[in-house]
Amino acid sequence: MIKPLGDRVLVEASAKEEKTASGIVLPDTAKEKPQEGTIVAVGSGSLNKDGARVALEVKVGDRVLFSKYAGTEIKYEGKEYLIMKESDIHAIVG
Amino acid sequence: MIKPLGDRVLVEASAKEEKTASGIVLPDTAKEKPQEGTIVAVGSGSLNKDGARVALEVKVGDRVLFSKYAGTEIKYEGKEYLIMKESDIHAIVG
Amino acid sequence: MIKPLGDRVLVEASAKEEKTASGIVLPDTAKEKPQEGTIVAVGSGSLNKDGARVALEVKVGDRVLFSKYAGTEIKYEGKEYLIMKESDIHAIVG
Amino acid sequence: MIKPLGDRVLVEASAKEEKTASGIVLPDTAKEKPQEGTIVAVGSGSLNKDGARVALEVKVGDRVLFSKYAGTEIKYEGKEYLIMKESDIHAIVG
Amino acid sequence: MIKPLGDRVLVEASAKEEKTASGIVLPDTAKEKPQEGTIVAVGSGSLNKDGARVALEVKVGDRVLFSKYAGTEIKYEGKEYLIMKESDIHAIVG
Amino acid sequence: MIKPLGDRVLVEASAKEEKTASGIVLPDTAKEKPQEGTIVAVGSGSLNKDGARVALEVKVGDRVLFSKYAGTEIKYEGKEYLIMKESDIHAIVG
Amino acid sequence: MIKPLGDRVLVEASAKEEKTASGIVLPDTAKEKPQEGTIVAVGSGSLNKDGARVALEVKVGDRVLFSKYAGTEIKYEGKEYLIMKESDIHAIVG
């Protein structure tokens, strides 16, 4: 088990096919292109001004688009994951 | 379906004609020129100091002007979109 | 109609004569010189800490001085405008 | 009339004599030297966290010392002024 | 005894084997790779806006992943430790 | 009279002898060395989040140590002073 | 007497032996190594959002580890001290 801290999430990145699982084709331009993946674990949220936790917007199982330069790679029980901040995630797709 | 996170919005950019749909002609000067588009989906808003969501000012269907360098490009079911923060949007036109 | 978002305003810049409409002559020195214009539309204000809107200080019709490098240019129904943040405006004149 | 916005003030700078009106002689060293002037108009103050205005500390008529690189120059009805933020003012003298 | 201050923690880093104790194999890529370790002591937490302490999310005994460039090294009674901020810790594993 | 604004203070720097008035000898090393002086006037304090003034910690007559690069020099009625922010002062001595 | 201001503390650094007083041997690596010392005086604390003082976590007599580049050196009655911010202190040891 991997439990991300704070406003971090654990993401399993999709294989980088030209046409991804949810039907989003990433265009070939100069702008940064997001990558697709699935949320595997979520942190307990960031702190608000009173020191209470604010739940994240994404939940386990969500398919998400995120900055392709986001996160830290780890390998756990044979699978590769990314740990990133929720703010690196652009949108939920599906 | 693409659901932007937080204070992000999904925009379908207008074709870059010299005279755009709403009648705004973008002048040819040294200053940055905004681009026009239509809001296709909106996030649930940014967090205020108590951790509550503050609804965005734009809504689905609004025609907007935004920084031409703003956002991340994605293609979904054959159409190109931009995901950007609401703060990258200058104004609603129409 | 162009509705600026948040703390943005729409300004119609005055023609850059040596002596402007309100009688302010911009001196010729090394310091940045402000430009004069008229407020054409105002946003609904910035968010305070509770997520409520704080009304802008300027209103439609005000003649203002603003940083000459401020804002984004647009052309709408034949006229040129600038969209800028209220914080780019130095003073109301008249 | 020129009404500065927010926490800005309008200052009429004193002539840069070696000995200024209030008897302050600016020494000749490597450190930045302040300039003297008189407050001609004041803004309605900066916003506190609730969106209310906090009155400025200086008032019209105060003789002040300010950073010599501070502010934006304007000329109005034949006189030169500086528009600057109150935070650019070091002290009231007299 | 070493008592970290504020939001700092004391970590005993795991030996850098290819396959670490919890079964996480760190992949060989261009992205930054986290390091594994065990929390040995925790600070009393960061201050919230009222000046009260907010307890840390990690506790003594937790196995954690942290940025490999994080922290300050110390040696105490023959063992090496790292003192780092909790924000340098990505996740709890186990 | 010179009245510093906000969280500023007016300091009369001590003559830079090797052994200063309060018996502090400034060592000769690579680190920045503080300078000694006496508080001559204090501002009304910085603003807290509600827009109220928070009184300064130093008072007129305090002998203080401050960063030797801190402040702005002025000369008033034949004496040299420094105007600086209270945060540039390290300690009260005596 | 030296009274540090705000969130500053006065520290008497330990002699830099290979094995320090509390038994911490500083390892010889590329990472920054902390230095050991004893708290001699503490400030009245930083301001919280209401302008009240929040007491420091360290107290006089605490043995502490701090960044070796932290602080400002002074000599007082024949002894050398460092004035630094509490945030430069990593941990209390002993």
Q: With bands split at pLDDT 50, 70 and 90, how would you rate the model's confidence at B5?
A: very high
**pLDDT > 70? residue B72:** yes
Residues of C in Cβ contact (< 8 Å) with B33:
72-74
Query: Is residue B43 one of the residues assigned to a domain?
Result: yes
Asked if residue E46 is part of any domain, the answer here is yes
Q: What is the pLDDT of residue G32?
A: 57
DSSP E19: B
Taking 70 as the threshold, does the pLDDT of residue E24 lie above it? no
Which CATH number is B15's domain given?
A: 2.30.33.40
Q: For residue A30, what are the domain limits?
A: 8-93
What is the band of A16 on the pLDDT scale with cuts at 50, 70, 90? low
Mean pLDDT of A46-63: 90
Task: Give G-chain residues touching F94 at CB under 8 angstroms.
Answer: 1
Least confident of A22-31, C28-37, E70-79: A22-31
End-to-end Cα, chain B, rounded Å? 26
B69 or C24, higher pLDDT? B69
Is residue C52 a contact partner of residue C78, using CB atoms and an 8 Å limit?
no
- Give the DSSP H or E segment for G64: strand G63-67
- Using DSSP's 3-state secondary structure scheme, residue F86 falls into helix
DSSP lists the bridge partners of residue F46 as F54
Q: Is residue B71 a part of any domain in this protein?
A: yes
Mean pLDDT check: name the lowest of A62-66, C12-16, C89-93: C12-16
Q: What is the Cα–Cα distance from B72 to G87, expressed in whole angstroms? A: 38
Question: Domain for residue A3, yes or no?
Answer: no
Of A48, A89, A90, the CB nearest to B51: A48
Closest CB to C75 among B25, B89, B92: B25
Coil, helix or strand at residue B86 = helix
The residues pairing with F38 across neighbouring beta strands, listed in sequence order, are F12, F63
- In this prediction, residue D30 carries a pLDDT of 47
Mean pLDDT confidence for C77-91: 92
| Mean pLDDT (chain F, rounded) | 84
Q: Which residues in chain G are contacts of E72 at CB distance < 8 A?
A: 31-34, 65, 67, 90
Q: Under an 8 A CB cutoff, do E5 and G32 touch? A: no
Q: Which of G27, G50, G89 sits opposite E5 (nearest CB)?
A: G89
Contact status, residue A69 vs residue A31, Cβ threshold 8 Å: no
pLDDT surpassing 60 at residue D35 = yes
Which residues on chain C are in Cβ contact (under 8 Å) with D77? Answer: 23
G49-77 tens-digit pLDDT? 888 888 999 999 999 999 878 889 888 88
- State the pLDDT at residue F32: 57
The per-residue pLDDT for range G2-44, each reduced to its tens digit, is 999 999 999 999 876 545 556 665 555 545 568 899 999 999 9
Beta strands (DSSP E) in A8-88 are 8-13, 34-42, 46-47, 53-54, 63-67, 72-76, 79-85
Each residue's pLDDT tens digit, F41-51: 999 998 887 88
CA nearest to F34, candidates G43, G83, G68:
G83
Which of residues A26 and B49 earns the better pLDDT score? B49
- Would the CB atoms of F65 and G2 count as touching at under 8 Å? yes
Contact flag C49-B52 (C-beta cutoff 8 Å)? no
* Residue of chain G minimizing CA distance to E70: G31
What value does the mean pLDDT take over residues B26-41? 73
CB hemisphere CA count around E26 (13 angstroms): 19
Please state the three-class secondary structure of G28-60 as a single string: CCCCCCEEEEEEEEECCCEECCCCCEECCCCCC
| The predicted structure's pLDDT at residue C30 | 47
Confidence class of residue E7 from pLDDT cuts 50, 70 and 90?
Answer: very high
Q: Which of A63-67, C46-50, G17-21 has the highest mean pLDDT?
A: A63-67
**pLDDT on residue F34:** 80
pLDDT at A25: 59
What average pLDDT does the segment E60-86 reach? 90
Into how many domains does chain E fold?
1
Q: Do C74 and B29 touch (CB under 8 A)?
A: no
Q: Please answer yes or no on whether G33 and E80 come within 8 Å at the CB atom.
A: no
The answer to whether B91 contacts C47, with C-beta atoms less than 8 Å apart, is no
With a cut of 50, say whether residue D71 has pLDDT above it.
Answer: yes
Question: Maximum distance among all alpha carbons in chain C?
Answer: 45
pLDDT at D17 over 80: no
In a domain, B18, yes or no: yes
**Confidence at residue G94, expressed as pLDDT on a 0 to 100 scale:** 82
Q: How do F34-42 and F46-47 pair as beta strands?
A: unpaired
Cα separation of B17 and B26, whole Å? 9
Give the separation between CA G93 and CA E34, rounded to whole angstroms: 27
**Cβ neighbours of residue B82 closer than 8 Å, sequence gap 6 or more:** B10, B11, B12, B13, B37, B66, B70, B71, B72, B73, B74
Beta-ladder partners of B63: B38, B93
E86 φ, ψ (degrees, to nearest 5):
-60, -30
Is G3 within a domain?
A: no
More confident residue, D76 or C5: C5
User: Is B75 a domain residue?
Assistant: yes
Does a structural domain hold residue E2?
A: no
Distance CA G39, CA G58 (A): 8
Residues A93 and A23 sit within 8 Å (Cβ to Cβ): no
pLDDT confidence of residue D52: 84
Beta-bridge partner residues of G10: G41, G83
Q: What is the C-alpha to C-alpha distance for residues A35 and A91, in angstroms, rounded to an integer?
A: 11
Query: Cα–Cα distance between G61 and E73 in angstroms, integer?
Result: 24
Which amino acid, C57?
Answer: E
Partner-chain contact G29 E73, CB within 8 Å:
yes
- Give the Cα separation of D3 and F32 in Å (integer): 44
Instruction: Collect the ranges in chain F with pLDDT lower than 70.
Output: 16-33
Q: Which amino acid belongs to residue A63?
A: R
What sign does the dihedral G37-G39-G40-G44 (CA atoms) show? positive
Output the average pLDDT for chain A.
84
Q: DSSP letters of C1-44? A: -EEE-TTEEEEEEPP--SB-TTSBBPP-SSS--EEEEEEEEE-S
Q: What confidence score (pLDDT) does residue B11 get? A: 96
Higher pLDDT, A27 or E3: E3
**Per-residue pLDDT at E8 exceeds 50:** yes
